[in-house]
Chain A
Amino acid sequence: MVHETLAATNAVVTLDVALPEAFWHWYVTMNMWAKSIGTGLIFMLFLLLRKNSSEMSGLRTPTIIVSFIMMNVFLLFTLADLHQPFRMWHIFFYPHWTSAITVGAWMATIFVGLEFVMAVMMIRKDKCTLTKTPTETFDKILFWVTLLAIPVTLYTAGIMAESTARELWQMPTESVQMILAATLSGSAAILLLGGSKLSDETKSFFASILGLSALMAFIIYMSEYIFGAMKSEEVAVILEYVKGHGEYATMFWIGQWTAYILPMILVALYRVSKSSAMLNLAAILAIAGLWVVKHVWLIIPQLLPLS
C-alpha cells in the first residue's frame, strides 16, 4: 500500500461506518456467464456457416434455442439483480444514453428479439408466415445477429469501465476478455451441442478456438496478476485478494485451472489423440471454469475500501 501505512506513519482507521458487502454478486456472474455462452454460440454458428455451411443443418435450431435460453437466463438474472425489477421498463421509457447499461439493455433486447424470430422460424419451418425460405432467411439474419452479438457481449465491459471506482476493470482488457469469454464458452458449447454432427475438421477448428481463447484469456489474467500492481495502488490492493493467502486466491486459481489451463492441455492432447471425450471434458471445464473466473474478477474490486 502507499507510504502512509509505513510503520512510522502507522495510520489505523479507528472509527468508520460499516461498508456494504459486494453489490454485484453471483447474479451478475450468472449474467456474464450466460451471456458469454449465448453470444458465443452465435459467433460459432456464424463461423460454421462461413466455414462449412453444410454442417449447419442439424445445428441451427438447437444452437439458436440454446443461445436463446442462455440469453434469457442472462436477462432473468439481470432483472433479478435489480433492486426494483418491476421498473425495468424505465430503461426503455427514460433511457439515458451515456450509460452502457442502457445501450446494452436495448441491444440485448433487440438481439434476443431477433433470436426469438430465428428460433420461431426454424421451429415452425413449414408453417412460417414470415418467409417462405426460413433457412436462408435464418442465415441472412445470422449475419446481422452476429454483428449485434459483438456489442451485446462487449457492453458489460462498458459497464465495468464506467464503474470508475473499480480500477481493476479497464475497457481494453475487459472487452478483450468479454470476447474471449464468448469465444471460449461459445466454442465449448457448440462442441458439446454438435457432438458427432461435426466433422473432425470442424471439431478441431472449434477446438483451436477453444484452446486459443483459453490461452489468450489466461495470458491477460497473468499479465494483470503480475503487472497490474505496478501501475496503480488500487489494483495492487485488489490483487492482494488473489495472491498469497488472499481471501480469493484459491478460487482464483481454481478458475484459472478449470477455465484455461486444463482446457488448453486437454485441447493439446486432443489434437494428438483425437479423443472426443477429452474435447468434451475440455469444453465442460471451460464453461464451468469461466463462471468461477468471472466471479472472482467481479467480486474482488468491490472489496476495495472507498472511504
Chain B
Amino acid sequence: MQLGFLVDLHLCMGCKGCEIACKVENEVPLSTWRLRVKYVDVGTFPETKRTFTPLRCNHCENAPCERICPVSALHYIENGIVNIDKERCIGCAGCVMACPYGAIYIDPETQTADKCTYCAHRIASSMMPACVVACPVEANIFGDLEDPASNISKYIQANRDVQVRKPEKGTKPHHFYVGASQAHLNPLASRREEGYNLFNNITHLPLGGHH
C-alpha cells in the first residue's frame, strides 16, 4: 500500500475548507499549519486570474525529513505515510531545514516538529483524511497508488499534466497536482511581498519554538 494525494487545481476554489478541517481534526495550533491554501493573482487587468494551491506534506518516497531526523521521530509507516512521533522528537529542526516544501513546523504547544500525516489516525480508522472529506468540489483525491483501480490511480492515468512540486529535488513526492502552472507550484514564480496584502498579512512569524 502506498497512499497518495492528488489535487485537481482546475477545481480548487480556494475556500480553505480543507485548511480549517485540518486544523480542527489535528488540533493544529494557531500560527502553524499542516495545510495551507495559497492564492496567487496572475496577469494584468482585465486579464487577471487567481490561482489557488493547497500545500501540504508530500509524503516523499525519498523524504529528506526522514533522512535527517536523528531519532527517527519521522518515520515511514507501512502504508507509505511519513509519520511523526512527538515523543521521540528532540526538536532539532533538522527536518524543517530539510523539507524542500516548508511542510514542517515546530508546534508551539509541544515544542516538537509536526506536519501533515495524511491523517494517519483516520486512515488507521478506515476514514479519509479530514481535508479530503471537507472539499466542496472534490478537488482532493486520495487513495492507494499501488492499486490501479483506486480513484487516485485512475485520475493519474486520465490526466496528462500530472505534476509534483520540485521534482528536481529527487524527493519523489506522493502528492500530485493536475492543472498546475508555475505560479501554483513554484514559490519563486510569484512575488511574495511581506506585509498586508489583498487578503491577509503575509508575514514572517517569530519562531514557534522560542517564546
Chain A interface (Cβ within 8 Å of chain B)?
1-5, 7-21, 23-25, 81-85, 87-88, 90-91, 94-96, 98-102, 105, 159, 162-166, 233-234, 237, 302, 304-307
Kindly supply a per-residue 1/0 record for chain B positions 40-67, scoring 1 wherever the CB is within 8 Å of any chain A CB and 0 otherwise: 1111100000100001000000001011
Chain B interface (Cβ within 8 Å of chain A)?
14, 31, 33, 36-44, 50, 55, 64, 66-72, 88-94, 96-102, 105-106, 111-112, 169, 171, 181-183, 186-193, 197-210
3 A-B pairs with the lowest CB-CB distances in the bound complex, closest first: A83-B91, A306-B102, A4-B189
A87 to B86, CA, bound (A): 11
Q: Are B42 and A84 in contact (CB under 8 A)?
A: no
How distant is A306 from chain B, measured CB to nearest CB, in Å?
3
Chain A residues, CB < 8 A from B210: 83
Q: Are B191 and A2 in contact (CB under 8 A)?
A: no
A307 to B97, CA, bound (A): 14
Given contact pairs A12-B41, A12-B191, A14-B199, A165 touches B98 in the complex (Cβ within 8 A): yes
Chain A residues, CB < 8 A from B38: 13, 15-17, 307
Majority SS at the chain A contact face: loop
Q: Are B207 and A20 in contact (CB under 8 A)?
A: yes
A94 to B72, CA, bound (A): 7
Q: Are A9 and B67 in contact (CB under 8 A)?
A: no
Q: Are A17 and B190 in contact (CB under 8 A)?
A: no
Given contact pairs A12-B40, A19-B204, A83-B112, A94 touches B68 in the complex (Cβ within 8 A): no
A102 to B101, CA, bound (A): 23
How distant is B175 from chain A, measured CB to nearest CB, in Å?
13
A307 to B33, CA, bound (A): 12
A15 to B193, CA, bound (A): 10
